[in-house]
Amino acid sequence: MKISDVRFRTIALPLKNKLLHSAGAHPHFVLTIVEVETTEGLIGYGETGGGGFSLGPFIGYLRRQMIGEDPFNIRRLRWKVASPITATYYNQLLPQLWFPLETALLDIKGRALGRPIHDLVGGAVRTTVEVSAYLFPVEGAETYEDLAKLGLSLVDRYGFKVVKLKAGVYSPPHDADTVKAMAAERPWLRFRIDPNGAWSLAEALYVAREMQRAGVYIEYFEDPVWTMEGMRAFKEATGYPLATNTVVTRFEDIPHAFLKRAVDIVLGDPHWWYGITGFLELSASLWALGLELGMHSPGESGIALAAMLHAAASAPNLAYAIDTHYIHLADDVLKHPLEISNGVLRAPEGPGLGVEVDLNKLDKYETLYRDLGDYPYAGDDVVTIPRRKYRECRCHR
């Protein structure tokens, strides 16, 4: 059996609300779906993206390197397509290109053998994966009371036990009051706060002290400030655990974070860490150094989320509920969408990815992408780090 074709389709997947973040907004998700076909007619699916533009042209370029190869020889293909030398020139882009290709190859292998992907990468250590409530500021929820109410509605609907606030859109006092309002209503909730490095050290220390005064259960702060040295200073001043998906993005970054004692938790995901097998390599690397593992979400449909679940189910030292944007999707491309219940998702048990792609939905949202096109991750304003201008609201002037 050989690889006979590699195809891509770019889709625009609608969201329930425009999601605001410190650099701009997501009006919808642009996702690149990859199909790998074999000479025996097996088709595997993968997905990458979550930003605002298609990665399809790059996938098309890599196609020539994969045609005629053995789809089971995944490690050879990773080094052929995404070697460390090549990755040096493409930095974060190449892992994001390899992720859907590897997912599709593992999907093919699993379908051929009748085994789920987590069986192919060493076996699952858990059958369910805890998920966080990923709370974004949205249009129409301007006050901190409005945003807190939205967050609690997600908790009640899906049974979440941990909430991640996407901070850095409104002022630090607004973010602090949002968390305090939720904690006052549900004191058993755990929180993580992520301003994407938008705060100055003084602003980050202000929020940390507000959380301490209110007795809020903070799991960790995620990238409260920019740079590894800034993270170290915050950690030393507050004692709060620190998580990152910005200052540790490559395997080469891990020793620096360890030696500086700047980070406690690395938020990996298969998108940025060379697929599912790369994520498990990250898992082992962190284990050896006594650092902890979480899972970041760049935005995904059920295809990539299924891959994330196989990775999460197979990582023995995954210490925290994973992040996902899945609750914000207005629709999915699976025939049977994944269901979050009591704050957890089940790892798929069917062959390969264990999910069935709805080709009609792919057609529909491929057409929508042609209508909507790409969008920039950053908004129209010049965004500085630290951020010096926040979105105005009625509650903090």
Residues 238 and 262 in one domain: yes
Residue 25 lies in a domain: yes
Residues 127 and 104 in one domain: no
Residue 10 lies in a domain: yes
Residues 25 and 129 in one domain: no
Residues 155 and 282 in one domain: yes
Residue 16 lies in a domain: yes
Output the domain CATH number for residue 86. Answer: 3.30.390.10
DSSP state, 131? B
Residues 66 and 103 in one domain: yes
Q: What is the pLDDT along the chain (397 residues), one digit of tens a residue?
A: 999 999 999 999 999 999 999 989 999 999 999 999 999 999 999 999 877 899 999 998 899 999 999 999 999 999 999 887 777 777 678 899 999 999 999 999 999 999 999 999 999 999 999 999 999 999 989 899 999 999 999 999 999 999 999 999 999 999 999 999 999 999 999 999 999 999 999 999 999 999 999 999 999 999 999 999 999 999 999 999 999 999 999 999 999 999 999 999 999 999 999 999 999 999 999 999 999 999 999 999 999 999 999 999 999 999 999 999 999 999 999 999 999 999 999 999 999 999 999 999 999 999 999 999 999 888 767 788 998 889 999 898 7
Residue 18 lies in a domain: yes
Residues 62 and 99 in one domain: yes
Residue 379 lies in a domain: no
Residue 391 lies in a domain: no
Long-range CB contacts for residues 363-370, cutoff 8 Å, separation at least 24: 365/11, 365/12, 365/13, 365/14, 365/331, 365/333, 366/9, 366/10, 366/11, 368/11, 368/12, 368/14, 368/28, 369/10, 369/11, 369/12, 369/30, 369/54
Centroid of chain to Cα 204: 23
Centroid of chain to Cα 144: 25
Q: Name the nearest CA neighbour of 147 among 19, 242, 322.
A: 19
Q: Is 260 helix (H, G, I), strand (E, B) or coil?
A: helix
Residues 106 and 124 in one domain: no
Residue 382 lies in a domain: no
Residues 299 and 162 in one domain: yes
| pTM for the whole structure | 0.97
Terminal Cα-to-Cα distance of the chain (whole angstroms): 65
Residue 396 lies in a domain: no
pLDDT of residue 383: 80
Residues 314 and 367 in one domain: no
Residues 130 and 247 in one domain: yes
Please identify which residue in the block is written with the tokens 């069986």: 119
DSSP state, 383? P
Q: Please list the alpha-helical segments (H only) found in the chain.
A: 56-66, 74-81, 84-90, 93-113, 117-120, 144-158, 172-185, 201-214, 228-238, 253-260, 275-289, 302-314, 359-372
Residues 98 and 168 in one domain: no
Q: How many domains does the chain have?
A: 2
- Domain of 228, in residue numbers: 120-346
pLDDT of residue 92: 72
- Non-local (6+) Cβ contacts of 165 within 8 A are 135, 151, 175, 178, 179, 191, 192, 193, 194
Residues 323 and 231 in one domain: yes
Catalytic residues: 166, 296
pLDDT of residue 91: 67
- Is residue 77 within 8 Å of residue 67, measured between CB atoms? no
Question: Other C-beta atoms within 10 Å of 215: how many?
Answer: 10
- Is residue 155 within 8 Å of residue 148, measured between CB atoms? no
Output the domain CATH number for residue 195. Answer: 3.20.20.120
